[in-house]
A and B are shown apart, each in its own frame.
Chain A
Amino acid sequence: MPTLTYRDALNQALREEMQRDTNVFLMGEEVGVYQGAYKVSRGLLEEFGPMRVVDTPITELGFAGVGVGAAMVGLRPVVEFMTWNFALLAIDQLVNSAAKMRYMSGGQVGVPAVFRGPGGSALQLGAQHSQAFESWYAHIPGLKVVMPATPADAKGLLKSAIRDDNPVIFIEGEMLYNVKGEVPEGEHVVPLGRADLKRSGGDVTIICHSKTVAVALKAAEQLAAEGVEADVLDLRTIRPLDTEAVLASVSRTHRCVVAEEGWSFAGIGAQVVDIIQREAFDELDAPILRVTAADVPMPYNKQLEKAAKVDPAKVIAAVNSVLYRSGE
């Protein structure tokens, strides 16, 4: 199986889907001539031309709306946001137009569009460029929210998102674009709404998604050296959430830690914890703990930034706590 970066896996998914379906097109800032701010769209302008790889002005609200309008009449746009921070300017189109069109038209008009780009923080990009917004979008009925953590999932989930008849919020990670992994060639489609057990162990469940998957795996590796075996469950799709996979793992381990890049208050972890306490209360041997970003705007200073972010040590500390053990 070929090894690809996450970036190239996304590129492959876009290329294959654009070859498969002429209704699929890509639009956004710098996606064409510049080859993508993060080079996800490299080579696509040359292959598909400017009508299908559309460079837009810096006008997020406007081009998100253009994407929704084109989708309402049957095209399948992939709208790239240079980052999800900039998409705040477009959130009216995502929430008021894309998410509600099917419902308020009585089922007549759908919006089969994908809105994608990197979310969360990278390195020292400061407060306005270091934000995880998945809980905002996951709150909205009518939207699906997808967050791949590996190159293989990036390809397979993007292909599914493009084929989905609903508006899909597809959040990538700037720090993930260079991650390498094996990626199946050709028709590799990962269904939306299915979590993936990235590591199996019986003592504790670590639920994670996107960038926190690598953090959780690192923590699990260190814990294994201390004799603690962890399930690492990658949600992959935030909405619809794979409740069954969450409950299956927790019912096996009886202890759970939820890690996410975003802030704690009303975050994804809060939703996961709610599901577990309702559906598997009797399975729990300890309160569930959450590991999240510090509840502050992201500071620029390197040490402060590190302190604000989720890391393996924080996950390990939480695992030790739910196991009522002192770390070694």
Chain B
Amino acid sequence: MATRTRPRARGGLDSARAEEYRGWLQQMLLIRRFEEKAGEAYSLGKIGGFCHLYIGQEAVAVGSLSALGPDDYITCSYREHGHALARGISARAVMAELFGRAAGCSGGKGGSMHLFDASIGFLGGHAIVGGHIPLATGMAFAAKYRETDQVAVCYFGEAAVNNGAFHEALNMAALWKLPAIYICENNRYGMGTALERASAIYDISERACSYDMANEVVDGQDVLVMHAAMERAVQRARGEKLPTLLEVRTYRFMGHSMSDPIHGHYRTREEVEDQRKRDPIAVWSQRLIAEGLMDDASVKTMDKRMVEEVEDAYQFAEQAPDPEEEALFADVYADS
């Protein structure tokens, strides 16, 4: 059944959806400003551990999560600040988690790589590459088991597809016809290893053919294209109870983590500069302006509001208390 669709040619934007379109820009700006502030806070030593920024990939989370319903399940890798914000965890709760505060979305015990909000189906950032892909298959299994119309979505990087967990999880999802959507955010590099130095094939979407699974290659720098591809996948999952692999071509504008310089030894400054020409926020804001749905001034005002929201989150996180000492031993077990 291996269907294969390419991004559709652009038509005009539907002015009836203007609010929704502007909302996507706002979310992307929120993520961008949030990540810039997180990077700054990390440099000041206010955020510890590892910190993986999502700058450059904002359209993927925003375009795809906006196609989901409130009861759907989401799992992510460790580069998940953007997904958490796009799903609706507040900037305050995410920033507080990065600061390790009790008011953080995981009580300050998860950190940057383990953001959770079970009340909205946001079931974690997970930090073993590929290890969370079977979890999403299990959530899709649960939806089928209970005969609900929920969909389980899993985000991971392109480096995860060389991992056994990926293949095992996709095989079972296809074998059992589960409502799962696997979103491979192909940002070209697994840490410092380029895709073509790690994968025997270039088109990751083709991996789905091994499981007779529907797949698409999606332009991840265009939020509208991302959203449309996700709508097709959601329809396939909810309606036909079939899984999809989306290979989303995107690019990470920053280093792998805060300790990695922007281009490092594995890519050139020119390459990064070239990719930045397709900044998803610029692509989308220019489109909205060209279509007359926004103007320069309203984009600037929106951006300013997002800067303020992030500043508020930062202040909140700075002043929020650390977890109480008793939190150390809480929640190891259900009864602890």
A56-B332 in contact given A97-B132, A108-B118 (Cβ < 8 Å): no
Query: For window 169-208 of chain B, which residues contact chain A by CB distance below 8 Å?
Result: 169, 171-172, 175
Query: For window 198-219 of chain A, which residues contact chain B by CB distance below 8 Å?
Result: none
> Within 8 Å of chain A (Cβ to Cβ): is B126?
yes
Cross-chain pair count, CB within 8 angstroms: 143
* Alpha-carbon separation in the docked complex, A53 to B167 (Å): 23
B327's nearest neighbour on chain A, judged by CB, is A106
B334–A61 touching, CB < 8 Å: no
A104-B168 in contact given A65-B131, A72-B135 (Cβ < 8 Å): no
Query: For window 104-146 of chain B, which residues contact chain A by CB distance below 8 Å?
Result: 104-111, 114, 116-118, 123-124, 126, 128, 131-139, 141-142, 144-146
Complex interface: chain A residues within 8 A of B168 (CB): 57, 59, 61-63, 65
Complex interface: chain A residues within 8 A of B142 (CB): 69-70, 73-75
B172–A66 touching, CB < 8 Å: yes
A105–B172 touching, CB < 8 Å: no
Total contacting residues, chain B, CB less than 8 A: 47
A142–B123 touching, CB < 8 Å: no
Complex interface: chain B residues within 8 A of A63 (CB): 134, 168, 172
A109–B334 touching, CB < 8 Å: no
B131–A64 touching, CB < 8 Å: no
* Alpha-carbon separation in the docked complex, A93 to B105 (Å): 23
A107-B131 in contact given A70-B145, A73-B142 (Cβ < 8 Å): no
A residues near B, CB below 8 A? 25, 51, 56-57, 59, 61-75, 92-93, 96-97, 101-110, 112, 141-142, 144, 164-166
A97–B135 touching, CB < 8 Å: yes
A62-B137 in contact given A97-B131, A103-B331, A106-B116 (Cβ < 8 Å): yes
B residues near A, CB below 8 A? 73, 75, 104-111, 114, 116-118, 123-124, 126, 128, 131-139, 141-142, 144-146, 152, 164-165, 167-169, 171-172, 175, 330-335
Select B106's contact among A59, A104, A142, beta carbons within 8 Å: A104
Select B135's contact among A25, A65, A106, beta carbons within 8 Å: A65
* Alpha-carbon separation in the docked complex, A105 to B108 (Å): 9
A61–B331 touching, CB < 8 Å: no
* Alpha-carbon separation in the docked complex, A103 to B329 (Å): 9
B126–A97 touching, CB < 8 Å: yes
* Alpha-carbon separation in the docked complex, A86 to B289 (Å): 58
* Alpha-carbon separation in the docked complex, A19 to B107 (Å): 37
* Alpha-carbon separation in the docked complex, A25 to B141 (Å): 12
Complex interface: chain B residues within 8 A of A56 (CB): 172
A142–B114 touching, CB < 8 Å: no
A66–B141 touching, CB < 8 Å: yes
